[in-house]
Amino acid sequence: MSLVAPVIEEEPSTLGSQVYADLSGLIMRGELSPGDKLSLRSIALRLGVSMQPVRHAVDRLVADQALEVLPNRAVRVPIMTTARLEEITRIRIAIEGFAVEEAAGAWTPADMAEIERHDGIFRRECRKRTPDLARAVMANRDLHFSIYRAAALPSLMPIIEGLWLRVGPVLNLDMRASPERIKQGAGRCHADMMAALERRDGKRARLALTADISGAAEFIVSRGILP
Partner DNA sequence: GCAGTCTAATTGTGATCACAGTTGCCAACA
Partner DNA sequence: TGTTGGCAACTGTGATCACAATTAGACTGC
Note whether 162 binds its own copies by CB under 8 A.
Answer: yes
d(CA 185, CA 189): 6
Note whether 79 binds its own copies by CB under 8 A.
Answer: no
Note whether 166 binds its own copies by CB under 8 A.
Answer: yes
75-76 and 68-69 as β-strands: parallel, antiparallel, unpaired? antiparallel
Answer for which of 94, 113, 191, 195 binds its own copies (CB under 8 A) is 94
Taking each helix axis from N to C end, the angle separating 15-28 and 156-177, rounded to the nearest 10 degrees, works out to: 40
Q: Residue 72 binds what, of its own copies, DNA, none (CB under 5 to 8 Å, by partner type)?
A: DNA
Identify residues 14-53 at the interface with DNA (CB under 7 A).
Answer: 14-16, 38-42, 49-53
Answer for which of 1, 3, 45, 63 binds its own copies (CB under 8 A) is 63
Note whether 72 binds DNA by CB under 7 A.
Answer: yes
Task: Considering the complex, state which of residue 32 and residue 189 has its C-beta at the smaller distance from DNA.
Answer: 32
Note whether 63 binds DNA by CB under 7 A.
Answer: no
Q: Residue 90 binds what, of DNA, its own copies, none (CB under 5 to 8 Å, by partner type)?
A: its own copies
Q: Residue 132 binds what, of DNA, its own copies, none (CB under 5 to 8 Å, by partner type)?
A: none
Helices (H) and strands (E) in the chain, counts: 10, 3
Contact characters 129-158, its own copies, x per CB under 8 A: ------------------------xxxx-x
Residues in CB range of 218: below 8 A, 6 or more apart: none
d(CA 181, CA 133): 12
Note whether 74 binds DNA by CB under 7 A.
Answer: yes
Q: What are phi and psi of 38, to 5 degrees?
A: -115, 140
Q: Residue 156 binds what, of its own copies, DNA, none (CB under 5 to 8 Å, by partner type)?
A: its own copies
Contact 4, 25 (CB under 8 A): yes
d(CA 1, CA 49): 14
At 171, is the secondary structure helix, strand, or coil? helix
Beta strands in 93-227 (DSSP E): none
d(CA 165, CA 25): 9
Note whether 88 binds its own copies by CB under 8 A.
Answer: yes
Residues making contact with DNA (CB under 7 A)? 14-16, 38-42, 49-53, 55-56, 69, 72-75
